């Protein structure tokens, strides 16, 4: 399906550790897809993110949990292992360049939290990253857009005017995977049922925080 008669497919790329994937992730994905009229949204689990500590669950477990979560979301949503099978560190630049090469028909929208976007100037080849995709930046609790822009040295007014930097204040409960892992909160209130069963059967996150 191509949007707006442009011949391009509006594709959202939603990267993250998904350690584990939870209902906040899936609700946000649905909301972003609807808000911005995406033709498809692809979850991309990271392997070795340069700005975060190591993952608690293995790459294969995180990929399997994502597939279980997405299986009930409809054909618009899918999962890609593009970062997991790539060598080295998971740089966003490399992911976007590979995606563009493999999917030249895509109009790419990269989904990021406001806290993460505030660090973009430290990303590998960050200006090329901005040129490779439009950004949908979602406001995180305690990290509003004013705080985000104040943390940045670059003026992003031009990107906003061109529609390449889109801000979204989503009315969705803002929870984190670390919150889900801690305090016995791995239950159906926070994690899709198939994911919960996978976590239990594989004894993941026992004693994690």
CA distance 92 to 50: 10
How many beta carbons lie within 10 A of that of residue 103, not counting itself?
14
Q: Give residue 117's pLDDT.
A: 97
* pLDDT number for residue 54: 67
Confidence at residue 49, expressed as pLDDT on a 0 to 100 scale: 60
Q: Which residues contact 13 (CB under 8 A, 6 or more apart)?
A: 41, 42, 44, 95, 96, 99, 108, 109, 110, 111, 133
Q: Tell me the C-alpha distance between 92 and 26, whole Å.
A: 21
Domains of the chain: 10-201 (3.40.50.620)
> Which pLDDT score, from 0 to 100, does residue 53 have?
58
pLDDT at position 182, please? 72
Phi, psi of 113 (to 5 degrees): -80, 155
Stretches in the chain below the pLDDT threshold 50: 4
Task: Please tell me the predicted confidence (pLDDT) of residue 33.
Answer: 98
Q: Are strands 134-138 and 9-16 parallel, antiparallel or unpaired?
A: unpaired
C-alpha 204/C-alpha 130 separation (Å) is 36
Whole-prediction pTM: 0.91
Tell me, what's the pLDDT at 171? 79
């Amino acid at each position: 399906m191509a949007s707006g008669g442009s011949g391009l497919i509006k594709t959202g790329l939603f990267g993250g550790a998904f350690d584990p994937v939870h209902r906040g992730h899936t609700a946000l994905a649905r909301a972003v897809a609807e808000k911005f009229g995406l033709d498809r949204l692809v979850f991309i689990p990271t392997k070795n993110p340069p700005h975060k500590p190591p993952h608690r669950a293995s790459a294969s477990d995180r990929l399997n949990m994502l597939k279980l979560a997405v299986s009930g979301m409809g054909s618009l949503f899918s999962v890609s292992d593009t970062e997991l099978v790539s060598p080295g560190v998971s740089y966003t630049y490399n992911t976007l360049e590979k995606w563009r090469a493999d999917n030249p028909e895509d109009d790419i929208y990269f989904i990021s939290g406001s806290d993460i976007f505030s660090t973009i100037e430290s990303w590998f080849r960050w200006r090329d990253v901005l040129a490779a995709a439009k950004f949908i930046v979602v406001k995180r609790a305690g990290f509003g857009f004013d705080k985000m822009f104040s943390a940045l040295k670059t003026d992003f007014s031009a990107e906003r005017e061109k529609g390449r930097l889109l801000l979204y204040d989503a009315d969705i409960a803002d929870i984190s995977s670390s919150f889900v892992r801690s305090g016995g909160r791995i239950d159906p209130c926070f994690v899709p049922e198939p994911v919960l069963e996978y976590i239990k059967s594989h004894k993941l996150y026992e004693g994690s925080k």
